[in-house]
Amino acid sequence: MSKEARPSWDSPMQFVLACVSYAVGLGNVWRFPYLCQMHGGGGFLIPYLLMLVLEGIPLFCMELAIGQKMRLGSIGAWTAISPYLGGLGIASVVTSMYLCLYYNVINAWSFWYLFHSFQSVLPWAECPINTNRTGYLEECEVASPTQYFFYRETLNISSSIDENGGIHMGQALCLLLAWIIVYLFIVRGVKSTGMVVYFTATFPYVVLIIYLIRGVTLHGAWNGVKYMFTPKLEQLANPQTWINAATQIFFSLGLGFGSLIAFASYNHHNNNFERQAVAVSLINSGTSVFASVVTFAIYGFKATFNYESCLERMRLLMLNTFDLSEETISAENVTEWIHHLNVTYPEKFASIASKIEDCSLQAELDTAVEGTGLAFIVYSEAIKNMPLSQLWSVLYFVMLLLLGMGSMLGNVTAIITPLGDIKFLSRTLSNETINGLVCLLCLLLGFGFTSRSGNYWFTIFNEYAATLSLLFIVFIEVVSVCYVYGLRRFEKDIEDMLGHRPNWYWKVMWAAISPLLLFSLFIFYIINYIQGGTPTYQAWDKNLGKSVVQEYPVYGQAFIALLLASSLSCVPLAALYAACRKKQRGTSLRQHAVNTVTSTV
């Protein structure tokens, strides 16, 4: 029987770059610097690197080994390991599907910002003027121009999840573009993906280096970098630090989606994945640290700029209220003058007391932001104050796009590889058609995120769709490989592929430490959900100009439960189905599994 050969990467370098491009994503830029700031700056590196060694590298290596050995996508690979575990693959595909739906919306926003950078004045630099030209729009006055541009012009956000609105046409167009580009990258499977990853994996580093040079030469950047690297070692006593380090490593490497299994399934049988796993994990963590240096340089610049503007405002206030000559107060002695004037003219001072602000560089640096707020609001605010801001804006959003697109490649590959393995589908439709249908389906469902309340649904997906389920999936993965498939059998497979058995480090991690860590993280998440009460979200209030906390309505909570249940339940349901089929068909199921395992040698 002649079958069409499974496509493979043109070189091991393509595989490594694909893994790097997938693992190095937006989380490295917008989550790690936040965690660093919250948990004691340089001191956070200690739990972070420890967790990398304890769970990151071993689990990464394990997924690559499974993919390379089974040479199938996640559904086929787990069915081969044990016929009762096909649900694990299905859970991975479902989680990847949810991720694809909402992740590309971020790319759509990046496109929107990128296209809007080609103007003489960046649209988020100034507030738009109101109709009678006497001042700025009220919503923009209470918030800031960057927040206004993000919440009003980019999202046109409604004030709660209940208020739906029409679809934002600009967002819809950008989402369409994002999906067409994803399709272009994956249309020919690994052949096209392999070409693209040369660019998506390397160019972000070029931009990061350029930004590093620009960042450290900005006025006040050193304040931010110093702030980051001053370790506050007392944070190490806080258990939250360790939990956040473990979850960050886990999610940053992209385990459990099936993307790594899919990528590795296109490898040659003797590819040295062990070395590559260590390399990619270290590159991922190194990039996180590198990106946070850049982020903190930018933070320092923004904080210093705000601090100096605050001092200037206070200086003007003093000069205007007390009618002093301009040379008397300078930026350095503003605080002394405030104190002096308070003492000398208490009544007059009391009349302006409401306008006095406490200018503190420390307070500015302490404002920690993560996620889309960091990427689209804080960064664009810093960029608008740089000279030649259009150029920096274009560079920055191109980098965000490449990081996001690179991760999307892995996410979509995790869906199309198992689908392509299903004989029934690959016989009736060509690969290009299957890929196109997947992209089209995700695009149509993704339009829901471009409506006026879309950002709130985005937050639901971001927080619940891929967190608990992934921990569960990877925990079951590592337990089933070690105890259901058998650690000895796994060792032999690795020896077959690499030529040597895995040493004690791998075996100890796979058999004991990583499952323990994952289990405790899983329990911690569940406790957090239960203790947290009704889940809440941040809704944008346009009259106050800031986000307020609101509780999810009943249907929102039901949707969250559905999201979690739909991926978690795949595992037991599929196992039950397999058990029923086995009872019906007798021993033919076991025979089929044995054939699949031995024929892939």
DSSP-assigned letter for residue 451:
B
Residue 529 and residue 101 in contact, taking contact as beta carbons nearer than 8 Å = no
Residue 162 and residue 544 in contact, taking contact as beta carbons nearer than 8 Å = no
Nearest residue to 228 via CA among 289, 304, 283, 287: 289
3-state secondary structure of 537: strand
Query: Which one, 11 or 534, has the nearer CB to other proteins?
Result: 11
> What amino acid occupies position 87?
G
Task: Name the residues that contact other proteins, by CB under 8 A.
Answer: 2-8, 71, 111-112, 114-116, 118-121, 128-129, 133-136, 170, 173-174, 176-177, 180-181, 183-184, 187-188, 192, 267-270, 316, 319-320, 323-327, 432, 495-496, 498-500, 599-600
Nearest residue to 32 via CA among 567, 521, 403: 403
Query: Which one, 523 or 594, has the nearer CB to other proteins?
Result: 594
Residue 371, judged by CB atoms within 10 A of its CB (0-12, 13-18, 19+), counts as middle
Query: Which one, 499 or 586, has the nearer CB to other proteins?
Result: 499
Using alpha carbons only, what angle is made at residue 395 by residues 390 and 399, rounded to the nearest 5 degrees? 145
Shortest reach from residue 561's CB to other proteins, in Å: 38
Query: Which one, 186 or 560, has the nearer CB to other proteins?
Result: 186
Nearest residue to 98 via CA among 441, 558, 476, 530: 441
Instruction: Work out the number of other CB atoms within 10 angstroms of the CB of residue 223.
Output: 21
Query: Which one, 325 or 531, has the nearer CB to other proteins?
Result: 325
Query: What CA dihedral angle connects 208, 209, 213 and 215, to 10 degrees?
Result: 10
Query: Which one, 129 or 579, has the nearer CB to other proteins?
Result: 129
Shortest reach from residue 178's CB to other proteins, in Å: 10
Shortest reach from residue 158's CB to other proteins, in Å: 23
Q: How many CA atoms lie within 13 A of 95 on its CB side?
A: 35
Shortest reach from residue 512's CB to other proteins, in Å: 27
Query: Which one, 293 or 310, has the nearer CB to other proteins?
Result: 310
Query: Which one, 70 or 75, has the nearer CB to other proteins?
Result: 70
Residue 170: both structure tokens together:
């600009």
Shortest reach from residue 40's CB to other proteins, in Å: 41
Residue 143 and residue 151 in contact, taking contact as beta carbons nearer than 8 Å = yes
**What is the chain's length?**
601
Shortest reach from residue 400's CB to other proteins, in Å: 15
Q: What string of DSSP letters covers 208-254? A: HHHHHHHHHTSTTHHHHHHHHHS--GGGGG-HHHHHHHHHHHHHHTT
Query: Which one, 403 or 478, has the nearer CB to other proteins?
Result: 403
Residue 191 and residue 8 in contact, taking contact as beta carbons nearer than 8 Å = no
Residue 435 and residue 90 in contact, taking contact as beta carbons nearer than 8 Å = no
Residue 477 and residue 571 in contact, taking contact as beta carbons nearer than 8 Å = no
Distance CA 147, CA 541 (A): 12
Query: Which one, 5 or 549, has the nearer CB to other proteins?
Result: 5
Query: Which one, 133 or 427, has the nearer CB to other proteins?
Result: 133
3-state secondary structure of 392: helix
Shortest reach from residue 62's CB to other proteins, in Å: 20
Shortest reach from residue 184's CB to other proteins, in Å: 5
Shortest reach from residue 417's CB to other proteins, in Å: 15
Residue 26 and residue 287 in contact, taking contact as beta carbons nearer than 8 Å = no
Residue 458: both structure tokens together:
């985005």
Shortest reach from residue 384's CB to other proteins, in Å: 17
Shortest reach from residue 52's CB to other proteins, in Å: 28
Query: Which one, 68 or 147, has the nearer CB to other proteins?
Result: 68
SS3 content of the chain, % helix, strand, coil (to 5): 75, 5, 20
E strand spans, 518-562: 536-541, 546-551
3-state secondary structure of 123: coil
Nearest residue to 112 via CA among 37, 69, 170, 41: 170
> What amino acid occupies position 132?
N
Shortest reach from residue 401's CB to other proteins, in Å: 11
Shortest reach from residue 553's CB to other proteins, in Å: 35
Q: How many CA atoms lie within 13 A of 497 on its CB side?
A: 26
Distance CA 539, CA 537 (A): 6
Query: Which one, 498 or 571, has the nearer CB to other proteins?
Result: 498
Query: Which one, 180 or 213, has the nearer CB to other proteins?
Result: 180
Shortest reach from residue 345's CB to other proteins, in Å: 14
